[in-house]
A = this chain, B = another copy of it.
Amino acid sequence: MPPSEHDHSSVFDTDTAVAQVAPTTFAARLTDRWHIGDKPNGGYVLATVVRAMQHAIHASSAGAHPDPLTVTGHFLRPSEAGPAEIEVSIARIGRQLATVSATFTQGDKERVRAIGTFGDLGAFVAKGARTDVALVPPALPPAQECIARPPFANPQLPSIADQVTTLLHPETGWLRGQPTGRGEVRGWLGFADGRPPDTLSLPLFADAMPPAVFELLAGAGWVPTVELTVHVRGRPSAGMLRGVFRTRNLRDGLLEEDGELWDADGHLVAQSRQLAMLLD
């Protein structure tokens, strides 16, 4: 069975599809349906790269390493809607872990360079090794009491807000132009078309919320990601995810954003951290 069997009813699966054109070369086609402003969201691009990595590993390991355990993308320049080529380089296919890197190129310009280690989260569960989680899920009112992410400047244009349902905590201050100053956003996240989350989609969700720095200070503008790392720590159950993202270290215009994604069963399924630049 190929990895992440393509489901034609899901926008995410359609828009991150890759076609193998050589043993480690994949063709993709970004759509404009995951835009932030006029550029594809970085998490969407990274998820497409991760799918190509997953296919390349699958072909070399007979499906032994289905889950991205830790993936990092460095964003060299914005991507565009349209065709792309992903070249995967295999570092090691081991018994428990498989590591690859990849380049994502459009029109002779590399846009993203990435690295990832994959494994089988089901096999880790089956070993019965220790679990001890001190973190707790973010408190959130029921989804119907939360506030849908507001449309972007031009709501006529397609955007990630059409594909990722984002229901923010009602006390989110920047929704009223009054950031709390705490540098934290939290809310419910899910695919608008009802596709359940899986490990492949967690890198997308880790970059899909409005930036936490919007809650830290008023007037924050564009916050381009320099690097995003996502640890996928569990296979999410069906249902909406709870996300919390925090910026606690803004220094000289560079900032970190730390994220947690919790599934409907209360399990911490991903931890993310990005380095971003705050452009005034």
Q: Using a CB–CB distance below 8 Å, which chain A residues touch chain B?
A: 69-70, 72, 74, 76-77, 91-92, 94, 97, 99, 101, 103, 110, 113-115, 117, 121, 124-125, 127, 129-135, 182-183, 216-217, 226-227, 229, 231, 233-234, 248-254, 256, 268, 271, 273, 275, 278, 280
**Number of copies of this protein chain within its complex:** 2
With A76-B99, A127-B252 known to touch, is A229 a contact of B273 (CB < 8 Å)?
yes
Task: Tell me the dominant secondary structure on chain A's binding face.
Answer: strand
Residues of chain B within 8 A of A250, CB atoms compared: 130-133
The reply to whether A226 and B113 form a contact with Cβ atoms under 8 Å apart is no
Residues of chain B within 8 A of A129, CB atoms compared: 252-254, 278, 280
With A70-B227, A249-B233 known to touch, is A99 a contact of B113 (CB < 8 Å)?
yes
CA distance A130 to B276 in the complex (A): 13
* Further pairs besides A76-B99, A134-B248: 5, Cβ < 8 Å: A77-B94, A101-B101, A117-B226, A121-B252, A130-B278
| CB-CB nearest in chain B for A128 | B252
With A72-B115, A101-B115, A113-B91 known to touch, is A133 a contact of B226 (CB < 8 Å)?
no
Residues of chain B within 8 A of A130, CB atoms compared: 217, 250, 252-253, 278
Residues of chain B within 8 A of A271, CB atoms compared: 249, 256, 273
The reply to whether B101 and A226 form a contact with Cβ atoms under 8 Å apart is no
The reply to whether A124 and B252 form a contact with Cβ atoms under 8 Å apart is yes
| CB-CB nearest in chain B for A134 | B248
| CB-CB nearest in chain B for A248 | B134
CA distance A97 to B253 in the complex (A): 14
- A66 to B: closest C-beta gap in Å: 15
The reply to whether B231 and A131 form a contact with Cβ atoms under 8 Å apart is no
List 8 A–B pairs whose Cβ atoms lie within 8 Å, in order of A's numbering: A70-B226, A74-B117, A76-B99, A117-B226, A121-B252, A130-B217, A131-B251, A231-B273
Residues of chain B within 8 A of A275, CB atoms compared: 69-70, 117, 231
Residues of chain B within 8 A of A217, CB atoms compared: 130, 132
| CB-CB nearest in chain B for A92 | B76
With A217-B132, A229-B229, A273-B273 known to touch, is A103 a contact of B91 (CB < 8 Å)?
yes
